[in-house]
């Protein structure tokens, strides 16, 4: 099967990003064909500082490669390096009905909160549909809250096919990511940049330790028994530990005599050990920016080969002339 996923460079990746999605993206890279792109065009709806966006894009590439994305298995590229996606977006816009976009969550949420919702946000699902349809993707790994985007993509593909030809666009299926790995933030709520409760994947050990020490806990005295399942520190530790290690720490919680400070130290050590190889790889990649750029450009070249094939098919179906040769 052909897999596609895009990740927005709107800030540094955190533990929630990794366990909720990135880890599973990497596990899917062994399929027939996998495309992973840094969604810089999407990010323009929220990131308006060019220096910040450029740094975010670079950090995203470094993080993904350090975490295990392998260019020989998966195609990694910047969304904006495939200009064909912009043309496909317009072709899809011409057959997109307004009411379909008015139902989409991101637009409705901003409108309900009285916030300005520009045309970029309103038509965001069409660009996302173009991203998916551009590569004949069969499978798109998404969280439960993003299933609607796949439904919109299928609706647009079906409408296009009914107008121009049943076999023009491939209808994708949503691969709903495993949500069993609940990732609490430092306040116990779901880890999210919008809540300001994240723990970064890559930062100095000192800063990561400081953030872990800020994880909210209750006021149970050191000597008293504690409930591990009700503690964000323990629930985060479970992401890094073996079942045996989890049982051992849970027993210490229930026995009493262990403070939350000690539990936080255990979490910190487990996390640093888990990501140690990725830290080393990222440090190496930071010293080789030209190599990272070559990976992105080579990925874009591979992606454009597929994109041009699909766009040629779509243009022909619409009655447009064939694509001009590449310059």
**H runs (alpha helix) in the chain:** 15-17, 23-27, 40-43, 50-67, 84-93, 98-102, 105-112, 119-122, 124-133, 147-164, 205-213, 232-240, 243-255, 260-274, 276-286, 289-318
Active-site option among 2, 111, 182, 193 = 193
Tokens representing residue 37 in the block: 């792109």
* CA dihedral sign, ordered 141, 145, 151, 152: negative
Separation of alpha carbons 141 and 207, rounded Å: 31
Active-site option among 110, 111, 182, 216 = 110
DSSP 20-64: IIIHHHHHGGGSSEEEEEE-HHHHTTT---HHHHHHHHHHHHHHH
What residue has token string 């709520």? 189
- Partnered with residue 6 across adjacent β-strands are 37
Active-site option among 2, 73, 111, 190 = 190
- Please say if 207 is a catalytic residue: no
- Please say if 193 is a catalytic residue: yes
Separation of alpha carbons 100 and 90, rounded Å: 16
In the chain, what is the greatest distance between 2 CA atoms, to the nearest angstrom?
77
Helices vs strands, H then E, count in the chain = 16, 5
Kind and range of the H or E run holding 274: helix 260-274
Separation of alpha carbons 293 and 38, rounded Å: 13
Tokens representing residue 2 in the block: 């052909």
Least Cα distance to 124 among 144, 87, 152 occurs for 152
Burial label for 153, CB within 10 Å (0-12, 13-18, 19+), is: buried
Look at residue 75 and give its three-state secondary structure: strand
- Please say if 190 is a catalytic residue: yes
Separation of alpha carbons 205 and 54, rounded Å: 25
Query: Which residues are catalytically annotated?
Result: 110, 190, 193
């Amino acid at each position: 099967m052909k897999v596609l996923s895009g990740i927005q460079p709107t800030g540094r990746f955190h533990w929630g990003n990794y366990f909720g999605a990135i880890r599973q993206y990497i596990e899917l890279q062994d399929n027939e064909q996998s495309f992973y792109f840094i969604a810089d065009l999407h990010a323009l709806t929220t990131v308006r500082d060019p220096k910040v966006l450029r740094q975010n894009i670079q950090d995203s590439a470094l993080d993904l490669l350090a975490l295990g994305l392998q260019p020989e298995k998966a195609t990694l590229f910047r969304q904006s390096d495939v200009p064909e996606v912009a043309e496909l977006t317009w072709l899809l816009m011409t057959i997109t009905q307004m009411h379909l976009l008015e139902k989409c969550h991101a637009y409705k949420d901003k409108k309900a909160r009285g916030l300005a919702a520009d045309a970029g946000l309103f038509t965001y699902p069409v660009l996302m549909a173009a991203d998916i349809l551009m590569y004949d993707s069969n499978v798109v790994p998404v969280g439960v809250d993003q299933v609607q985007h796949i439904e919109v993509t299928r609706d647009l593909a079906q409408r296009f096919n009914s107008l121009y030809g049943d076999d023009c666009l491939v209808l994708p299926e949503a691969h709903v990511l495993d949500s069993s790995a609940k990732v609490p933030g430092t306040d116990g709520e779901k880890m999210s940049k919008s809540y300001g409760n994240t723990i970064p994947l890559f930062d100095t050990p000192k800063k990561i330790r400081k953030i872990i020490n800020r994880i909210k806990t209750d006021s149970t005295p050191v000597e008293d028994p504690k409930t591990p399942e009700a503690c964000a520190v323990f629930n985060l530790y479970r992401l890094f530990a073996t079942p045996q290690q989890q049982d051992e720490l849970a027993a210490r919680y229930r026995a009493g005599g262990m403070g939350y400070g000690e539990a936080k130290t255990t979490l910190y050590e487990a996390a640093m050990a888990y990501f140690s190889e990725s830290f080393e790889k990222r440090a190496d990649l930071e010293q080789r920016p030209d190599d990272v750029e070559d990976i992105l450009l080579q990925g874009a070249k591979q992606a454009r080969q597929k994109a041009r094939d699909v766009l040629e098919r779509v243009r022909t179906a619409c009655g447009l002339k064939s694509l001009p040769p590449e310059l």
